[in-house]
Structure 1
Amino acid sequence: MPRSATSARPRQTVSVLAYDGMSAFETGIVTEVFGLTWPDVEADGYELTICAEHPGPIPMKGGATLRTPHGLEAFAAADTVIVPSVSEVAADTSPGVIAALRSAHRRGARVVSICSGAFALAAAGLLDGRRATTHWVYAERLGKMFPRVLVDPGPLYVADGTVFTSAGCAAGLDLCLHLVRLDFGAATANAVARRLVVPAHRDGGQAQYIETPVSTDPGDDRIARSMRWALEHLAERIDVDALAARAHMSPRSYLRHFSRTTGTSPIRWLIAQRVQASLPLLETTDTTVEAIAAAVGFESAVTYRHHFGRAMRTSPSAYRRAFEQQQGAARAPAAR
């Protein structure tokens, strides 16, 4: 059954660090997720501030210039602070940035890095004894420079307490959507992902290309139509024969076309969609795990728990508890 609605809360603040020689891509990721209004999303969104160690013009790659009046004091004051890379992984992180990161962390703010931004977090000591990731190119160096960091080069992103790290630049988008999911739930994260035309959640790690539920072959809409049908009938028993029939193909032809279109198999894709469909039920209702498993089409709670664990790296019950705790923390933003 649905839980009672939460009380209104102030918009959360997000700050992102700009620096000389930065790429516009990573800052653009943060801006797209946290800086835009969501007219078709039932959430208030965030207040975003772009900050720099030295306010004023910031030279970017390609000859462009970004200008911001906000310094490190504003950066450290946000509920979520994001370092979207560093200019050089071998260079020392400035004392000012280190102090700002430590200040934000002491207040209880979420501290986030994208790609090589993990080096700044590590320099501030925020990754000591924590599991963390970065781009696989830098993972070995991160471990050697900061041996107290538990570097895991596999995941797209890692959450350890209030500290979040992500792999390469594009994985920063996965992490940003994860933060939206923590703050507003899976339904809102899915809506934001749809606006960005990206998967709301990618399974797997850095070493593989990840499947997507969106058809990439505009000349063959049959696969896309069968996928849309499956999403509308997740609670039903669905196999390759049923999907192939919806696409008016033989099962063998369907498997070939599906793999070419999505990069994965129908069953793997279907499992991922069922896990995703279960998240709003875990977040917004008190329905039992057994009932949720049946509602999204798993044959048993045991099967559901198995696939949920592989996709989300936790159990359904633990996910529900963590979401409730995160919501409680979100209703009391870090002290400014």
Structure 2
Amino acid sequence: MPVIAVLALDGVPGHELTGPGMCFGTAARHHPHVAYELRYCTAPGFRGTGSPAPFRIDTPWGLEGLADADTVLLPGHAGFRDEPEPEVADALRAAADRGSRIGAFGTGTFTLAATGLLDRCRAATGRQYAAELARRHPRVEVDPEGAVVDADPFHSAAGVLGGLDLCLHLITLDHGVPVAIETERQVFMQLHAPAGAEDATGPAIRHGTGPHSLGPTIRWMEAHLDHPLTLNDIADHAGLTVRGLNRRFRAETGLSPLQYLLRARVQAAQRLLERGDEPVERIATRTGLGTPANLRHHFQHHTGTGPRIYRTAFRSMVAALTWADGKHAEPAEPDGPAGADTDPGPSGSADDRRAARRRT
């Protein structure tokens, strides 16, 4: 199982610690073939998280937790303008020497740059800090927009919403675009849901991955949603009787085959509504729901709203969340260069973020 070590330095904003856990945890919860071990590691002198909502954390891992990590993530922290402690710099250089992937987001990019590992590489930080990063580390080619930058094995981005863009980029590299897109949707639904509410689409659908599991049949169903699949079709593909299929499906997913198929079609409709401008009629055909009326009926039943309202609300929600996160950014140094970009404006829509991942 790949190990991801999140290095928490003193004064790290709390949401930059919870962001990776939410992102990688959501990917694993909704995709049975995805698995990560997430470690939170602290350096000597760590006292707690910083603003806007500080809290204490206890972890058994210190810098030794980086020793066998496949990926090291470096969030921002309060003393990012200072030289990193020698043991921190040594641990990061040792990780790079071993071939570990290293990701920095927000002001964490300053610390990674201070090790010299980013010399002659492209890198990103929050837009309001880009000019300062370029001035302090002239050997680093700084992306002024804070977009996700892939300078393998180093990856960096703005710290919007706890580095979710960077985490989604890494998930894309590990498991492909479809997993990253579904993870992004689930994460934003969790952020928008009322406290104590279930995922907006209901409990995660899980299925086994053993040699006798329904995984291949489920993937076949999801690849043929636009076909008029019947119970007999699904049973034939699985090599089971209809009765055996029903029993196995309920054991592995908690749903009947047709319930699972309907849920998958609604989820596919959600993705199409979020990522494009196709009319409802076209989406109904592509997802196998047939008619717009049928799509509206099942969409309303599973999500509590209609498809057009859902599309508008999702895009407004993403814009509002990314804008709100930018407003909490720490201002740049007062003596920064004239004309430095200090506008912590929105980082863009979900489509913008996906386009950034495609460019990397």
* Aligned twin of 1:93: 84
Q: Does 1:12 align with 2:2?
A: yes
Task: Encode CA deviations 1:33-64: one digit per residue, 9 max, x unaligned.
Answer: 22467343132320010001128863544452
* Cα distance between partner residues in 1 of 2:125 and 2:96: 19
Q: TM-score by structure 2 length?
A: 0.54
- What's the CA shift string for 1:122-149, capped at 9, x where partnerless? 0111110001110011111111111000
- The partner residue of 2:183 within 192, 200, 207 is 192
Q: State how far apart, in whole Å, the 1-side matches of 2:126 and 2:21 are.
A: 21
1:76/1:101 contact within 8 Å kept: no
**Partner residue, 1:163:** 154
2:2, 2:36 within 8 Å by CA — same for their partners in 1? yes
1:157-199 CA-to-partner distances (Å, cap 9, x unmatched) read 1001110000133272011011111111122222322321369
Change (3 A) 1:56 1:148: closer
Q: How many residues align?
A: 231
Alignment of 1:47-86 (within 5 A): 47-54=37-44, 58-61=48-51, 62-86=53-77
1:23 to 13, 17, 21: 13
Which residue is equivalent to 2:359?
313
1:38 paired with 2:36, answer no
Residue 129 of structure 2 is aligned to residue 132 of structure 1:
no
Q: What percentage of aligned pairs have identical amino acids?
A: 31
CA contact (8 A) 1:213 1:262 kept: no
Match of 1:179 in 2: 170
**Number of the residue aligned with 2:220:** none
Q: Which moved more, 1:167-176 or 1:145-154?
A: 167-176
Moved over 6 A (4+): 212-216, 257-261
Q: Which runs of 5+ in 1 are unaligned?
A: 1-10, 200-211, 217-223, 236-242, 248-254, 264-271, 277-307, 315-336
Distance 1:191 1:37, change over 3 A: closer
Query: How many Å separate the matches in 2 of 1:151 and 1:31?
Result: 27
Bigger Rg over Cα: 2
Task: Classify the secondary structure of the residue corresponding to 1:66.
Answer: coil
Q: Distance in 2 between matches of 1:132 and 1:75?
A: 22
Amino acid at match of 1:108: G
**What's the CA shift string for 1:258-308, capped at 9, x where partnerless?**
889847xxxxxxxx69xx8xxxxxxxxxxxxxxxxxxxxxxxxxxxxxxx8
Alpha-carbon separation, structure 2, partners of 1:198 and 1:79: 29
For residue 345 of structure 2, what is the aligned residue in structure 1?
A: none
Residues 155-304 of structure 1 aligned to structure 2 (within 5 Å): 155-170=146-161, 172-197=163-188, 229-231=281-283, 262=315
Question: Which ranges of structure 2 fall in alignment gaps of 5 or more residues?
Answer: 191-269, 297-307, 317-350
SS of residue matched to 1:151: strand
The answer to whether the 8 Å contact 2:13/2:77 transfers is: no
SS at match of 2:107: helix
Note the aligned Cα RMSD (angstroms).
Answer: 4.1
* One-letter amino acid of the structure 2 residue matched with residue 44 of structure 1: V
Cα deviations by residue, 1:197-244 (Å, 9 ceiling, x for unpaired): 369xxxxxxxxxxxx97979xxxxxxx996565445569xxxxxxx9x
- Contact map agreement 1:15 1:80 (CA 8 A) in 2: yes
**CA–CA distance in 2 between the matches of 1:127 and 1:311?**
20
Quote the Cα distance in structure 1 between the aligned partners of 2:10 and 2:136.
23
- Cα contact 1:177–1:193 (8 A) shared by 2: yes
